[in-house]
Structure 1
Amino acid sequence: MLTTGYRQLIFATHMNSWQQLLPAPTDLSLVLSDSPSQGDATLSRYRDYLGHEYPCVVIDCTNSIHVDAIAALAGTITAGGYLVLVGNHPTSAIWQRFKSAWSELQQIPQGQPPQASELPALPTQQQRTLLKDLNNTAAVHIVTAPRGRGKSHVLGAAIAELSEHQPDRRVVVTAPRKANARVLLNKAPKVQFVAWDKLLKEKKADALLVIDEAAGLPLWAIQQLCNDYTPWLMATTVEGYEGCGRGFAIHFSQWASEHLANVQQHALEQPIRWPINDPLERWLQQTLLLTKAPADASRNEGLLTTQARQLPEADLHQAFELLLEAHYQSSPNDLALLLDDSSQFITLLYHQQRVIGVCWHALEGPLQDDLCKPIIQGKRRPPGNLLPQAIGYYLQQPWALKTRWCRITRIAVHPDFRRRHYASALIAEVKAWAKHNQCEALGTSFGYSPALAKFWQHNGFTAIRTSNKRDRVSARHQHIRACWLTDTAPTNWHPLVDYAQAELQWINGNPGCSLSANPIIQQIKKAVANGYMPEAAAAFALSQG
């Protein structure tokens, strides 16, 4: 492995043993751990290190398997380097998937040792061609590539070349974090970097706009930046990033083609940070289903509800591919959740031996008795159980915490089969499954839009709550819809529906009629008076005299 420049994956059981497992010592390791004093930073800070290069990255998975961090930081490891995963999870499907896939890649046929592969001379032919294309500042260039292809290097070179020939032309660069644009800024040191939220306030339309690691920015923010500035260069990683770059590329490219003039798409394929056929990259693509799904699934027609870890590999791959491409916020962590969390289920729609639709849904509640009061009082918010906790706290409804819910997390239908009522068929199947599994209510949460609300209303879901604060990623108000599944609804169900409809009208700028006698209003006002809830979270209730 070392003689070929291929990168290696090493599994260690304990943090105090990983250094002994390295074939060769290194002093330039990046170590991420949630245990104090064990690493350079916590796992939640992994994005700060994108755009850097390391011969060795160590990720402490002892307490939790942070798959997004693994996927993203694997791309920072240089040729001949090591990714070290520390932990021991014999019952975790994603962990065992990691180990078995790597083991398979190490099975080299006898007499066929890996061939040495030199790193390409820079710039590569692909990069030279791209750099020539990027000289056209009248076009909007969208560059997509897996990690390690040198897209930031090419963007920096294009900016430096423009600055040399047009020194008075203003260019601004932004990215999720300045550290993410490190390679670009090193190549074009004179260019101005401005944080994206600050750029939104400046609105100096005369500047050419460059966005690196675009998938890390909210889609709405990029759209606004393109309206406020003159978009020139945008690059994004197409895998292993928060808000999965592949889904981002699809959605943003579609928006750009409809709203921007002269959009040009570019792709870089050849790796420059490690050799072609690098086993660590193949391992990552295989385990996280980042390659194109196989053509045939295991079933021909019909619906199937099961847990992801029970699916044949081809079916799982097709289903996850749909989720990645339909929801640009889908990420590798989602695959781990689907495989390892026993409360997560998946309903697949098959047609002609192909998965054409998928609905991801989860069981939530009832919560333990000792948690209910602290949640109502805003003192606890344990992970998971989104619907019972949101309704229980923000609407002050204790019954929601003692209810057994089924929450539809995401739903996706293949583009070739949309507008044929397949999504509604999936929802009907999940509704029947939820009733069979003694769920009392079925709900969902999404960024509000009139079209989405109409779709869910058509399928029997009524408004339950709308946040008055816009979501950072979608720039939409988070919206909850639900339907009651049993014959007897809670006492406050109908007042809750009335409250939610009035709240939604108020948020959309239509004051509506007064709801001062609605018991939900009084319960929320009482929570504010008792200090359980901030006034900002209760703005609509407080507006009702």
Structure 2
Amino acid sequence: MDIARSLRAEARRADERRLLVLAGDPDRTRERAAAALDAAAIPSAETTVVGPEPFLDCEHHEQSRAEELLGRTRTAVVLDAHEELRPDAVGRTVGAVDGGGLYVLLAPPLNEWPEERDGFSESLAVPPFDVADVTGHFRRRFVETLRAHRGIAIVNVDTDTVEQDGLTNPPPSRPVPVPIPPADAQFRPETYAQCLTDDQRDAVQAFETLQAGGEAVVVEADRGRGKSSAAGLAAGNLATEGRDVLVTAPQYRSAGEVFTRAADLLETLGVDFTRDRASEPQRLDLAGAGCVRYAPPEEAATLLDDPDVVIVDEAAALPVRRLEQFLDAPAVAFTTTVHGYEGAGRGFSVRFRDRLAESGHAVTDMSMTTPIRYSDADPVEVWAFRALLLDARPPVDQLISDATPDTIAYQQLSAADLRADEHLLREVFGLLVLAHYRTEPSDLARLLDAPNLTVRALTHEGHVVAVALLAQEGGLSAETRATMYEGGRVRGNMLPDVLSTQLRDEAAGVPVGQRVLRIATHAAVRSRGLGSKLLSEIKAEFAERVDWLGVGYGATPDLVRFWTRNGYSTVHLATSRNATSGEYSVVMLDPCSDDGAALATRHGGWFRDRIAAVLSDPLDDCDPDVVRTVLRATDWEPTLSLSAWEWRLIAGVPGGASILDTNPAPFRDLARRHLSDPADPTALSAREERLLVRKVLQGRPWSAVTEELAFVSERECMRTLGGIVERLTRLYGDRWVQEELDRHQ
């Protein structure tokens, strides 16, 4: 394989990477891959095969386990895509190849590949669709990028033809100058001796500010710039100074490099520390000093054991609500990938920066641009960004800043439309990235190929200002509904699945609906009613075609109010928190037909009947403002059926003749009645409604409620609740009940 030898030689000379595509018969491509690696003199110890079978004598992972290469460096990675092409596997493996290395892609004949359907295609065929309904737009575009970009060789192994040699004849790489340690450095000099670029040196020095309280550091970089290594060098230094450094990331493997570099530095410094190399997550304990320890986001957000410093690695992969919790730390750092499957860096910037600025922390910003693993002219990185749209962005602010509901156009964008217009695709996908705390390359493939997904957008002078991604759900066969009801795995159909499996309604899969997976408005034109305008256009389009419109999302008060204003009502509130976001998810419906109305009424009623019991048990820690808005978003005829005895219990509380603990049930019914549809919305203040939620519905101890709601004493808290009960009794009780109330005054 002379082509492989030439590619490797050029890659090493330029400190870049090259991509070798071997297309054709599966067995032939695997044989040629072995020959290519031999010709390129890449040892098996430096090679990883990612695919269905270990056809080389080297490390092997299936595509579903491609994350095993995160944070690692290999001279060659072979991605065998004959049985399936998982876009996430491409994103996770291409970054593992070091400068001077080869990324080898094994594929069917390129002219035929877009028309084939593979294992990943099957995952896109959610019921009632089948794999024949999946399109090939993603792979067609993928193949076009392979043929269009520099540094990519394509060999047809069936005809022994080199379709393109991938050689670019770049100049030899220049030696990277060793960074000069800063003259005013506070960290140990050995720290800066381990920095590989000026960017990394500057990032490490920025971490020095964390030695004082009230400081925050933000380090943004593309993948492979050494931001996690910089965080690790800083963590090691902080620990030697006696600091307790808590590290968190979406998964431990994302933070593995932090611990590796911290441990390496401690060994260089000759510091005694203990580490169980066999355990994950790791913990580094320094003799007579501090420590570096890991906790998953949901635990770390509680700031367990009062750390001195928190380092949040891959912060953009966490939602804003979770990130806000870390702002209570004495000192905190956020490192994040600007582009890539780890998370949406621009989403982090747009949605979290305001909260950070308001936190009172002094913020030090760093941006790292110089690659460490390969040259900054590396053509494989350019190809990967284009093929996976890792750098997709919405239009620049100036192009859409004048957009209003009167200047926009509503567009129905098919996958074919997006495939045909690269500029439009980048704007749509860029906005969708902002709508979610984690976006992966597979989302691009779903957008282009999944038969159940559609895109609707508002455009201003040809540019996208708001976008919604919709999924068709329901309309399921009796067999599929039975499988779902009995706990079987049915892809897609999230809303029917929740209503069927958790709420035991097998008929929930019969009506057809459109679920809003994501909706986003450009940051430059928010608060102008464009999101609501988009939803109203969607309702007008689908009202005669579906039974319901629906949505499920991590509930926050502002989001619940947004969906309520747009006609959606609560039918379910999850009883466990999302492990990453820390939020309870709410499911809401907007019925469009009689069948949809029957579904919404049925589940709205069940929600009404069970919510009081649920709030006092699994949801006893749910944010009271979330509870208030979720209850206010229910759509049902308010009722309050209390016995005479229950009313006497209630009427006795304000005057002290009876107590809440005798029988909390009627008090919960009264609270639920008022919070769901108040006869007088001004009867209670927001603080009083929070008290009603915390004490009556959630049954929290008086001491905890008193502290949380900032009452002077438990006695004042109790008196306030008594006043609330009196007002609600006068609002909802009959005359005799009010007479009973007056009797105890």
In the superposition, the TM-score normalised over structure 1's length comes to: 0.83
Between structure 1 and structure 2, the one with the greater Rg is 2
| Matching residue of 1:131 | 204
Q: From the two aligned structures, give the one with the greater helix fraction.
A: 2
**Matches for 1:520-535 after TM superposition, within 5 Å:** none
| Matching residue of 1:255 | 355
Aligned partners of 2:314 and 2:342 also within 8 Å:
no
Change over 3 Å in CA distance of 1:433–1:170 after alignment to 2: same
| Matching residue of 1:424 | 532
1:7 and 1:149 mapped to 2: Cα distance? 15
1:496 is aligned to 2:603: yes
1:196 is aligned to 2:278: no
Letter in 1 for 2:34: Q
**Deviations for 1:221-248, whole angstroms, at most 9, x for unmatched residues?**
5443442x43343312222234434323
Change over 3 Å in CA distance of 1:417–1:133 after alignment to 2: same
1:395 and 1:127 mapped to 2: Cα distance? 52
Where 2:61 maps in the other structure, the secondary structure is coil
| Matching residue of 1:284 | 384
Which of 123, 144, 149 is residue 100 of structure 1 equivalent to? 144
Change over 3 Å in CA distance of 1:250–1:503 after alignment to 2: farther
Q: Report how far residue 202 of structure 1 moved.
A: 7.0
1:41 and 1:193 mapped to 2: Cα distance? 30
Higher RCO (Cα < 8 Å, 6 or more apart): 1
1:90 is aligned to 2:163: no
Higher deviation after alignment, 466-475 or 50-59: 50-59
1:370 is aligned to 2:479: yes
Where 1:424 maps in the other structure, the secondary structure is helix
Percent identity between the aligned chains? 27
2:145 and 2:338 mapped to 1: Cα distance? 22
| Matching residue of 1:9 | 19
| Matching residue of 1:29 | 47
Change over 3 Å in CA distance of 1:245–1:36 after alignment to 2: farther
Letter in 2 for 1:368: S
1:205 is aligned to 2:306: yes
1:187 is aligned to 2:261: yes
Q: Report how far residue 170 of structure 1 moved.
A: 3.5
Change over 3 Å in CA distance of 1:450–1:72 after alignment to 2: same
| Matching residue of 1:518 | none
Which of 101, 108, 116 is residue 81 of structure 1 equivalent to? 101
**Matches for 1:288-307 after TM superposition, within 5 Å:** 288-291=388-391, 292=393, 301-307=408-414
1:110 and 1:176 mapped to 2: Cα distance? 37
Letter in 2 for 1:412: A
1:348 is aligned to 2:457: yes
**Deviations for 1:454-499, whole angstroms, at most 9, x for unmatched residues?**
2112111111221111111221111111122124546554232222
Change over 3 Å in CA distance of 1:57–1:445 after alignment to 2: same
| Matching residue of 1:443 | 550
Change over 3 Å in CA distance of 1:267–1:477 after alignment to 2: same
Aligned partners of 1:143 and 1:236 also within 8 Å:
yes
Which of 45, 59, 66 is residue 79 of structure 2 equivalent to? 59
| Matching residue of 1:115 | 171
Q: Report how far residue 114 of structure 1 moved.
A: 2.7
Where 1:236 maps in the other structure, the secondary structure is strand
Aligned partners of 1:247 and 1:329 also within 8 Å:
no
**Matches for 1:143-542 after TM superposition, within 5 Å:** 143-162=219-238, 167-189=241-263, 190=266, 191=284, 192-197=291-296, 199=300, 203-216=304-317, 220-227=321-328, 229-291=329-391, 292=393, 301-311=408-418, 312-378=421-487, 380-435=488-543, 438-489=545-596, 491=598, 493-503=600-610, 506-507=614-615, 512-513=668-669
**Deviations for 1:319-339, whole angstroms, at most 9, x for unmatched residues?**
111121232222222111101
**Deviations for 1:422-449, whole angstroms, at most 9, x for unmatched residues?**
111111222233235x222111111112
Letter in 1 for 2:114: P
1:203 and 1:253 mapped to 2: Cα distance? 25
Aligned partners of 1:55 and 1:77 also within 8 Å:
yes
Aligned partners of 1:30 and 1:58 also within 8 Å:
yes
Aligned partners of 1:177 and 1:195 also within 8 Å:
no
Change over 3 Å in CA distance of 1:398–1:251 after alignment to 2: same
2:335 and 2:177 mapped to 1: Cα distance? 22
Where 1:114 maps in the other structure, the secondary structure is coil
Consecutive unaligned residues in structure 2, runs of 5 or more: 1-9, 116-135, 152-163, 179-195, 267-283, 285-290, 621-626, 628-664, 671-696, 698-745
Higher deviation after alignment, 175-184 or 347-356: 175-184
1:369 and 1:35 mapped to 2: Cα distance? 38
Higher deviation after alignment, 148-157 or 61-70: 61-70
Letter in 2 for 1:448: A
Change over 3 Å in CA distance of 1:7–1:21 after alignment to 2: same
2:75 and 2:295 mapped to 1: Cα distance? 30
Q: Report how far residue 201 of structure 1 moved.
A: 6.8
Change over 3 Å in CA distance of 1:181–1:432 after alignment to 2: same
Change over 3 Å in CA distance of 1:480–1:263 after alignment to 2: same
Q: Report how far residue 82 of structure 1 moved.
A: 2.4
Letter in 1 for 2:379: P
Aligned partners of 1:301 and 1:353 also within 8 Å:
no
Number of equivalent positions: 509
Aligned partners of 2:571 and 2:600 also within 8 Å:
no
In the superposition, the TM-score normalised over structure 2's length comes to: 0.62
1:327 and 1:495 mapped to 2: Cα distance? 30
Aligned partners of 2:17 and 2:98 also within 8 Å:
yes
Higher deviation after alignment, 41-50 or 137-146: 41-50
Change over 3 Å in CA distance of 1:294–1:111 after alignment to 2: farther
Aligned partners of 1:305 and 1:348 also within 8 Å:
yes
Change over 3 Å in CA distance of 1:491–1:302 after alignment to 2: closer
2:307 and 2:502 mapped to 1: Cα distance? 44
Consecutive unaligned residues in structure 1, runs of 5 or more: 515-539, 541-545
| Matching residue of 2:280 | none
Q: Report how far residue 63 of structure 1 moved.
A: 4.4
2:99 and 2:293 mapped to 1: Cα distance? 32
Letter in 1 for 2:226: G
Change over 3 Å in CA distance of 1:384–1:99 after alignment to 2: same
Aligned partners of 1:238 and 1:249 also within 8 Å:
no
Higher deviation after alignment, 394-403 or 280-289: 394-403
2:525 and 2:318 mapped to 1: Cα distance? 30
Aligned partners of 2:327 and 2:359 also within 8 Å:
no
Change over 3 Å in CA distance of 1:319–1:393 after alignment to 2: same
Aligned partners of 1:147 and 1:237 also within 8 Å:
yes
CA RMSD of aligned residues (A): 3.3
**Deviations for 1:21-44, whole angstroms, at most 9, x for unmatched residues?**
546244122333466999733434
Aligned partners of 2:481 and 2:507 also within 8 Å:
no
2:503 and 2:22 mapped to 1: Cα distance? 46
1:287 and 1:294 mapped to 2: Cα distance? 19
1:504 and 1:243 mapped to 2: Cα distance? 35
1:167 and 1:466 mapped to 2: Cα distance? 46
1:58 and 1:80 mapped to 2: Cα distance? 15
Aligned partners of 1:245 and 1:328 also within 8 Å:
no
Q: Report how far residue 317 of structure 1 moved.
A: 0.7
1:462 and 1:34 mapped to 2: Cα distance? 46
2:175 and 2:314 mapped to 1: Cα distance? 24
